[in-house]
Amino acid sequence: MIEKTLIVVGPGGVGKSPLDALFKTDIKIDPYRLRSSGPRDSNDIFYAHPTLRDELHSVLKDLGDEQETKDGVEWFPKSKVLFFKVRKEWQFLIFKGLKGKFAKAEIYAPVLPAILSISDIKSLLGEVRIVVLNPVSQSVKVMQDWVELKKKTEYNCEQRGDDPKTVKKRVESVDEEAPAWKELIKNHGAVEYCNWQFPEYLYKEHDSVEHQKQVLLQARQYLLKANLDLEVFFKSVNEIGQIREPFVK
């Protein structure tokens, strides 16, 4: 049974993916992405064709599982299967059979409030800790608009090496995601890290595992400074020191 779950959110390029090398969790809860355009690359192991949603719906209903819908989120309580949309494309998570004490979940911020309001899911995740990585100095709680946040997101994604189409997509996504980050901070106990200084491109500045480990250790220290409760999810300093291969390509 899961006791605690960590969820990290923030704009594109801010440095969420490199933090995977920091987490020492029993379970990684990753959604399957139903993309009509196909898998992004050979590493896109959670890709599935969009027709799978209709097929799963049919199977689950035939098994007597009645769909519950809330704010666009589809929940099948008997099978513990969850469907939700991310930037107009469906994703789904299977919660049945998850075992372990500590989990890290990858869930799109705009659907999180609806998901966390479903008591069945909340109980499956245990105590939920949410981290909001904000690359600018002003808190999203007081921003009058998202202009500065979009500029920083554009910069971080360009420096990461994203193509122009992807950069545009990540920047436009801020309009949908930022209000959700604000709600998560105000109503769901999320901890915001303003002026987050560990974007993904920073790990790539030197093609060296030692450089990447040093950035990761600095990020670890920064996270713990505001919230010591997160330490249960993290590898120790010694464990990070044992990483032998670059973890950001």
How does pLDDT run across 218-230, given as a tens digit for each residue?
Answer: 999 999 998 999 9
The number of helices, as runs of H, and strands, as runs of E, in the chain is: 8, 11
Domain boundary among 72, 98, 124: 98
Do 164 and 61 belong to one domain?
no
Residue that has been written with the tokens 């479903």 in this structure: 118
Do 65 and 149 belong to one domain?
no
Tell me the residue ranges of DSSP E strands in the chain: 4-9, 27-29, 32-34, 47-48, 68-70, 73-76, 81-86, 89-94, 102-105, 127-133, 191-193
Angle at 243 between CA 158 and CA 202, to 5 degrees: 20
The pair of three-digit structure tokens given for residue 11, joined into one six-digit string:
């704009």
How many domains does the chain contain in total?
2
Instruction: Give the integer Cα–Cα distance in Å for 18 and 133.
Output: 13
Do 115 and 43 belong to one domain?
no
**pLDDT for 60:** 95
Model-level pTM? 0.91
Are residues 185 and 124 in contact, defined by beta-carbon separation less than 8 angstroms?
no
Q: How far apart are the first and last CA of the chain?
A: 34
Do 171 and 84 belong to one domain?
no
Which amino acid, residue 21? A
Closest of 180, 115, 113 to residue 146, by C-alpha: 180
Do 76 and 172 belong to one domain?
no
**In this predicted model, what pLDDT tens digit does every residue of 1-22 receive, in sequence order?**
899 999 999 999 999 999 999 9
Do 59 and 168 belong to one domain?
no
Which amino acid, residue 217? L
Instruction: Give the integer Cα–Cα distance in Å for 75 and 120.
Output: 9
**pLDDT for 57:** 95
Do 128 and 47 belong to one domain?
no
Residue that has been written with the tokens 């949309």 in this structure: 85
**In this predicted model, what pLDDT tens digit does every residue of 152-190 receive, in sequence order?**
999 999 999 999 999 999 999 999 999 999 999 999 999
**pLDDT for 38:** 66
**pLDDT for 47:** 84
Q: What is the CA radius of gyration of the chain?
A: 18
